[in-house]
Amino acid sequence: MTVEEKIEKISKKISSKILFDYNLKKLNWFNLGGSAKVFFKPDNLNDLVLFLKEFSSNLPIKVIGAGSNILVRDGGFNGVIIKLGKNFSHLSKLDNGTIVSGASVLDKKLSDFALENSIGGFEFFSCIPGSVGGAIRMNSGCYQFDVSKCLISIQSIDYKGNVKLLMSKDIKFHYRGSNLPDDLIFLSATFRGMQNDKITIQKKIENFIESKKKSQPSQIKTCGSTFKNPLEQTTKKVWELIKESDCNKMKVGGAYISDKHFNFFVNDGTATSLDMELLIEKVKEKVIKKTGIKLDLELQIIGEKN
Ligand SMILES: Cc1cc2nc3c(=O)[nH]c(=O)nc-3n(C[C@H](O)[C@H](O)[C@H](O)COP(=O)(O)OP(=O)(O)OC[C@H]3O[C@@H](n4cnc5c(N)ncnc54)[C@H](O)[C@@H]3O)c2cc1C
């Protein structure tokens, strides 16, 4: 059976939409890249389970969240892109410090919800423009906080359609990642914070946002930090290494480096993904030549070159 025939068969059994050749440009912060061969936005868990159980093919599967940390190549993604739909955006309070969040909830919403319920420990989420699923995958964080510090458990599903509960204590988190397998889609997560008064929480959020405003550009097409800070090799931050290596004014086509934060690479509106990738490669090359330090990507590149 062809992919098209399989999709047609599945489509008859579910209410969620499955689309072909779906352009991914609007689904990522760079506004770059080609189309997904198959794009599936499950509205609910039943449809997702059914899809994963019945869609067996050699095509790769990739889940995306808010697209604030992905560079989609110009040739698009020759596989299935899954983006969780409306029933994955629930938020609820279990007890005084515990919150359950759907994976497609935006981090800012989670932070707002914690504030409304006087729960501290979620303030850092207000500065991260992704979704809860993406934040778990990336162990996102800032100002000494990250997801691993408040996560209790994750409800997930593997690409074969098996739902699994994962306890945070069994997961090895590290800076911007973990040992969680790639073939897992996070569905929801339970987090624990602590009761605090709203004014203190609000102040902390404002301070974080203020610090971000001072150090990071806004209103631009970027995916935030391009490279991880090479913590094991130097105490210097990536932006310092980029500056030291004279890369901060580098440009390829419409891809350039923000002059406010040298680890933020930007699409000026005319860039292609190839421009961005070439800029990334050039910076890597220059930095290793000048400092001996090999930079690792923080953002995720997906898809095929044209
Ligand atoms: C302006 C700006 C500022 C930023 N500041 C910070 C910061 O301070 N700290 C920080 O850590 N990051 C920061 N980021 C990066 C980014 O916001 C985070 O990495 C974010 O958590 C990514 O979430 P997302 O939903 O956008 O994921 P996406 O970009 O859509 O995907 C990122 C990865 O997560 C995976 N993923 C997404 N959803 C799921 C899911 N449901 N299940 C399993 N895997 C999933 C994807 O497969 C991919 O591998 C910034 C980005 C921008 C644009």
Residue 47 shares a structural domain with residue 134: no
Residue 277 shares a structural domain with residue 244: yes
pLDDT 10s digits, 9-22: 999 999 999 999 99
pLDDT of residue 111: 98
- Which residue's CA is minimally distant from atom 21 of ligand 1? 135
pLDDT 10s digits, 198-254: 999 999 999 999 999 999 999 999 999 999 999 988 899 999 999 999 999 999 999
Any idea what the CATH number is for the domain that residue 36 is in? 3.30.43.10
Does the Cβ of 62 fall within 6 Å of ligand 1?
yes
Residue 115 shares a structural domain with residue 197: yes
Any idea what the CATH number is for the domain that residue 221 is in? 3.90.78.10
pLDDT 10s digits, 155-193: 999 999 999 999 999 999 999 999 999 999 999 999 999
pLDDT of residue 56: 85
Which atom of ligand 1 has the smallest separation from the CA of 217?
1
pLDDT 10s digits, 243-292: 999 999 999 999 999 999 999 999 999 999 999 999 999 999 999 999 99
The total number of structural domains that make up the chain: 3
Please say if the pLDDT value at position 153 is more than 90: yes
Does the Cβ of 189 fall within 6 Å of ligand 1?
no
pLDDT of residue 306: 84
Residue 27 shares a structural domain with residue 102: no
Substitution candidate for ligand 1 out of 32, 108, 137 with most atoms within 8 A of CB = 137
Q: Which domain holds residue 283?
A: 217-302
Does the Cβ of 29 fall within 6 Å of ligand 1?
yes
Does the Cβ of 208 fall within 6 Å of ligand 1?
no
- Which residue's CA is minimally distant from atom 4 of ligand 1? 224
Which atom of ligand 1 has the smallest separation from the CA of 103?
41
The predicted model scores a pTM of: 0.97
> Which of 213, 235, 262 is the endpoint of a domain?
213
Active centre residues (catalytic): 176, 225, 298
Please say if the pLDDT value at position 95 is more than 90: no
pLDDT of residue 297: 98
Residue 121 shares a structural domain with residue 187: yes
C-alpha pair distances (Å), 96 with each of 91, 114, 119, 175, 189: 14, 10, 7, 29, 16
Residue 99 shares a structural domain with residue 73: no
Please say if the pLDDT value at position 96 is more than 90: no
Which atom of ligand 1 has the smallest separation from the CA of 129?
17
Please say if the pLDDT value at position 57 is more than 90: no
Which atom of ligand 1 has the smallest separation from the CA of 63?
47
pLDDT 10s digits, 107-152: 999 999 999 999 999 999 999 999 999 999 999 999 999 999 999 9
Does the Cβ of 271 fall within 6 Å of ligand 1?
no
